[in-house]
Chain A
Amino acid sequence: MSNLNNKVCFLRKVFVGASLALSVGMLGGCSDSATDAEGRTLPILGERETVEREANGQTVVDTVYHQVPDFAFTDQDSQQVTQQTVAGKIYVTDFFFTSCPSICPKMKSQMLRVYEEYKDNPDVLLLSHSIDPEHDTVAVLKDFAERLGVTAAKWHFLTGEKDRIYDMANNYLVAAQEDGQADGGFTHGGHFILVDGHRRIRGVYDGTEETSVNQLIQDIPLLLNENKHAKK
């Protein structure tokens, strides 16, 4: 039990830290983005680099955006979930653990809304990483998903090597911390991260706030549109 409580505190603290870092990141401003019909845009979040190259005897400057690295985890159906699973699709991701008594139930109730909304759209996936993978085995995640009423393969509850999961958490977070304040070693608490077809972070939402999740549900079509144009 005390172990459980430790984790709760950890998650809460991290949540505040992450919010701070994220809002700073957002303020940093990112102008490169796609536009929808109404002109609304989703920024590309995270660090970027410029790379110079030679083309036709001229120097061209390319911008390289932060991209979520390759990964390989196992979901509740014992399926491998990798960068190939999400290739060309957009996904929403978060971090949780099944025995979490603090913010996770609220997050899951909000993620359920996203799930229900895009249940029938094969281009939208949900990836929920357990930060307690030793406890959250495939069997535990399977039971959890079933009790949550999740049947579609769209929502993957992931377990795997602990270090790799924490690395990934940092990756999703670092991308939002343009400020350079990225003192690693912490995962974020209640955030939902929206990732595009190029594995770039396009939105950060508070998964414990209904209004923030409303925004996420509205933003997803923008990326879907963008994906469609890119495929054409």
Chain B
Amino acid sequence: MRISMRKSKWAVLGFGTLSLLTLTQCFTDKQNEGQRLYVANCQSCHMEDGTGLRGLIPPLAGADYLQKNRQQLPCLIRHGAEGPMVVNGKEYNREMPGAERLAPDEITNLLNYMQTNFGNSNQRYTMQEVTLLLEPCPPHQQ
């Protein structure tokens, strides 16, 4: 009886450590995935360091837009943008293509990467939040 108790204690402890490990693993993977998605989909325009390109492409680094329009960002990424837009007091007006094929979890990782890199330390998103925010903008038929 005692022995089996002890066993299960070990089991719980072991399980706990294991899930903790997978959890951190998971976090680093997500960070990596966010970065991977950024490189694949966004870096060509917004640049490696998120500084954009002069008056053509707005910066992500230190951009007030990311905080002011937090709720709109999931749809902006999915559908892209066009028309005038003000970032850090400067007007931009060029087309950004949508990343229509990205799934909600990918968009979440991408957003969190953007919000916490390039010198940004903004609030993160949960996937539930992003899924909800994506509801008004279903992907276009491709």
- Which of A's residues lie within 8 Å of B, judged by CB? 1, 4, 99, 101-103, 105-106, 108-109, 112, 144, 146-149
Could you say which residues of chain A place their CB within 8 Å of the CB of B45? 101, 105
Contact indicator B54/A103 (Cβ below 8 Å):
no
Q: CB distance B54 to A1 under 8 Å? A: no
Residues of chain B having any CB pair with chain A under 8 Å: 44-45, 47, 53-57, 94-95, 97
Contacts of B54 in A (CB 8 A): 112, 147-149
Shortest CB distance A109–B (Å):
6
Query: Among the listed A101, A108, A146, which residue makes an inter-chain contact with B97, where contact means beta carbons less than 8 Å apart?
Result: A101
Sampled A-B contacts (20; CB under 8 Å): A1-B97, A4-B97, A101-B44, A101-B97, A105-B45, A105-B47, A105-B56, A105-B57, A106-B47, A108-B53, A109-B47, A109-B53, A147-B54, A147-B55, A147-B56, A147-B94, A148-B53, A148-B54, A148-B55, A149-B55
Query: Does A105 lie within 8 Å of B44, measured CB to CB?
Result: yes
Shortest C-beta distance, B132 to chain A (Å), equals 26
Closest approach, in angstroms, between the C-beta of A38 and any C-beta of chain B? 33
The secondary structure that dominates the A interface is: helix
Specify the chain A residue showing the minimal Cβ separation from B80: A1
Q: Is the CB of B44 within 8 A of A146?
A: no
Inter-chain contact B55/A105, CB cutoff 8 Å: no
Give the distance to chain B from A97, nearest Cβ to Cβ, in Å: 12
User: Whole-angstrom distance from the CB of B122 to the nearest CB of chain A?
Assistant: 24
Complex-state Cα separation, A223 to B95, whole angstroms: 39
User: Could you tell me the distance in whole angstroms from the C-beta of B99 to the nearest C-beta in chain A?
Assistant: 11
Residues of B within 8 A of A99 (CB): 95
Task: Give Cα distance in the complex from A102 to B43, angstroms.
Answer: 9
Residues of B within 8 A of A109 (CB): 47, 53
The 7 nearest A-B residue pairs measured at CB: A147-B55, A147-B56, A149-B54, A105-B45, A105-B53, A148-B54, A102-B44
A144 touching B97, Cβ below 8 Å: no
How distant is the Cα of A149 from the Cα of B54 in the complex, in angstroms?
7
Using A103-B44, A105-B53 as known contacts, list a sample of 17 further A-B pairs with CB atoms less than 8 Å apart, ordered by residue number in A: A1-B97, A99-B95, A101-B44, A102-B44, A105-B45, A105-B57, A106-B44, A106-B47, A108-B53, A108-B56, A109-B47, A147-B54, A147-B55, A147-B56, A148-B55, A148-B56, A149-B55
Q: Chain A's nearest CB lies how many Å from the CB of B79?
A: 11
Measured CB to CB, the nearest residue on chain A to B46 is: A105
Bound complex: CA of A40 vs CA of B31, how far in Å? 46
* Closest CB in chain B relative to A41 CB, distance in Å: 33
Collect the chain A residues with CB atoms within 8 Å of residue B44's CB. Answer: 101-103, 105-106
Select the residue from B45, B53, B95, B97 with max chain A CB neighbours within 10 A.
Answer: B53
Instruction: Specify which of B44, B45, B55 lies most central, judged by the most chain A CB atoms within 10 Å of its CB.
Output: B44
Whole-angstrom CA separation of A132 from B45 in the bound complex: 19
* Bound form: Cα–Cα A103–B44 in Å: 6
Whole-angstrom distance between the Cβ of A99 and the nearest chain B Cβ: 7
- What residue in chain A is nearest B51 (Cβ atoms)? A109
Q: How far is the CA of A9 from the CA of B47 in the complex (A)?
A: 20
Q: How far is the CA of A105 from the CA of B55 in the complex (A)?
A: 12
Give the distance to chain A from B82, nearest Cβ to Cβ, in Å. Answer: 11
Q: Across the two chains, which residue of chain B brings its CB closest to A5?
A: B97
Give every chain A residue within 8 A of B55 (Cβ-Cβ): 146-149
- Which of A99, A101, A108 has the largest count of B CB atoms less than 10 A from its CB? A101
